[in-house]
């Protein structure tokens, strides 16, 4: 009985299917449909605010009013399934191509993937960070064989569109999405979300480490993809950005 009632109100609040819920509301001075509408507006407004917090660039580029329309349609199609609002909104990138107001903006799903990567990075699990100090005193022959696993907060978003430029853009101007970009997202030791463009060699380096390659093989992959890459600078930047977690053989 309780589960049926909860289901009826859930459908009414999130999907607009109000008939079952209205039949269960006790009579009062305010009509049942108006009382339900108040709760529905509050619920949708709260979820729209959660989505806006996760996708601020998307909200800015679409405008707050248009984003609110998108959010309400998304909530109806993808109501929350878990009691953790930090995980709500993961399906929005896949929703954008099928939502009629955004379907023609082919670059928006990749922008949304970048924004969700930032959200995932923020709430990713803690793990020991590999720093420059961690490598002090490691012999060169051992250093070359190290495998550097990604930190749980590290994300790499590759796109045929200029998603990092879009993330900073104030409006959808002509050509703003032109050009492929790959963005590295990490979380600093202080908990700040960091992002920067990744070059072809840097992408190859990171992909090699993700596949389990050691430093020597990963460096070879990076140089093959980008012969002019400065590997020392690239690795120092990753150590500063907490890209990797501490390997078990250094723990």
Number of domains in the chain: 2
Task: Give the H or E element holding residue 62.
Answer: helix 56-62
Please check whether residues 93 and 113 belong to one and the same domain.
Answer: no
Give the domain-ending residue among 62, 81, 105. 105
Task: Give the H or E element holding residue 193.
Answer: strand 193-197
Which one-letter DSSP state was computed for residue 96? Answer: G
Q: In angstroms, rounded to a whole number, what is the distance separating the alpha carbons of residues 164 and 197?
A: 7
Please check whether residues 117 and 231 belong to one and the same domain.
Answer: yes
Q: Which two tokens stand for residue 251?
A: 């723990």
Q: Facing residues of 150 across strands?
A: 244
Q: In angstroms, rounded to a whole number, what is the distance separating the alpha carbons of residues 56 and 181?
A: 19
Please check whether residues 96 and 110 belong to one and the same domain.
Answer: no
Please check whether residues 36 and 110 belong to one and the same domain.
Answer: no
Please check whether residues 95 and 131 belong to one and the same domain.
Answer: no
Q: In angstroms, rounded to a whole number, what is the distance separating the alpha carbons of residues 67 and 147?
A: 43
- Kind of pairing between the strands at 193-197 and 155-159: unpaired
Please check whether residues 83 and 112 belong to one and the same domain.
Answer: no
Please check whether residues 88 and 120 belong to one and the same domain.
Answer: no
Query: Tell me, what's the pLDDT at 15?
Result: 53
| 8 A C-beta contact, residue 113 and residue 119 | no
The CATH number covering residue 137 comes to: 3.90.930.50
pTM for the whole structure: 0.84
CA nearest to 198, candidates 77, 117, 88: 117
Which one-letter DSSP state was computed for residue 150? Answer: B
Please check whether residues 116 and 185 belong to one and the same domain.
Answer: yes
Please check whether residues 116 and 202 belong to one and the same domain.
Answer: yes
Q: Facing residues of 186 across strands?
A: 194
CA distances from 113 to 133, 151, 155, 183, 214 (A): 33, 19, 10, 11, 29
Query: Tell me, what's the pLDDT at 30?
Result: 47
Dihedral pair phi/psi, residue 129, rounded to 5°: -95, 140
Per-residue pLDDT of the chain (251 residues; tens, 9 = 90+): 434 544 444 554 555 554 444 444 445 554 545 544 445 555 677 888 999 999 999 999 999 999 999 998 998 888 888 777 788 999 999 999 999 999 999 999 999 999 999 999 999 999 999 999 988 888 888 888 999 999 999 999 999 999 999 999 999 988 999 999 999 999 998 999 999 999 999 999 999 999 999 999 999 999 999 999 999 999 999 999 999 999 987 76
Please check whether residues 201 and 130 belong to one and the same domain.
Answer: yes
Please check whether residues 128 and 247 belong to one and the same domain.
Answer: yes
Query: Tell me, what's the pLDDT at 248?
Result: 81
Domain that residue 142 falls in: 106-251
Q: In angstroms, rounded to a whole number, what is the distance separating the alpha carbons of residues 206 and 244?
A: 10
Please check whether residues 98 and 110 belong to one and the same domain.
Answer: no
Longest dimension (CA), the chain: 81
Give the domain-ending residue among 75, 105, 135. 105
């Amino acid at each position: 009985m309780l589960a049926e009632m909860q289901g009826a109100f859930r459908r009414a609040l999130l999907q607009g299917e109000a008939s079952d819920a209205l039949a269960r509301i006790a009579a009062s001075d305010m009509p049942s449909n108006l009382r339900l509408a108040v709760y529905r507006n509050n619920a949708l407004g709260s979820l729209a605010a959660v989505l806006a917090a996760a996708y601020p660039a998307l909200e800015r580029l679409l405008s707050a009013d248009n984003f609110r329309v998108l959010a309400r349609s998304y909530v109806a199609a993808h109501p929350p399934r878990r009691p953790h609002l930090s995980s709500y909104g993961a399906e929005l990138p896949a929703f954008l191509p099928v939502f009629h107001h955004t379907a023609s903006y082919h670059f928006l799903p990749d922008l949304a993937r970048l924004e969700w990567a930032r959200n995932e990075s923020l709430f990713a699990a803690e793990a020991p960070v590999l720093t420059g100090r961690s490598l002090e005193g490691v012999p060169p022959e051992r250093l070359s064989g190290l495998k550097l696993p990604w930190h749980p907060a590290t994300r790499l978003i590759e796109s045929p569109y200029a998603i990092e430029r879009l993330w900073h853009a104030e409006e959808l101007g002509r050509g703003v999405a032109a050009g492929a970009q790959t963005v590295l997202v990490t979380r600093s030791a202080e908990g700040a979300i960091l992002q920067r463009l990744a070059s072809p060699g840097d992408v190859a380096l990171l992909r090699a480490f993700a596949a389990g390659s050691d430093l020597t093989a990963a460096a070879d992959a990076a140089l093959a993809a980008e012969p002019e890459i400065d590997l020392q600078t690239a690795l120092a930047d990753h150590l500063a950005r907490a890209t990797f977690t501490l390997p078990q053989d250094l723990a």
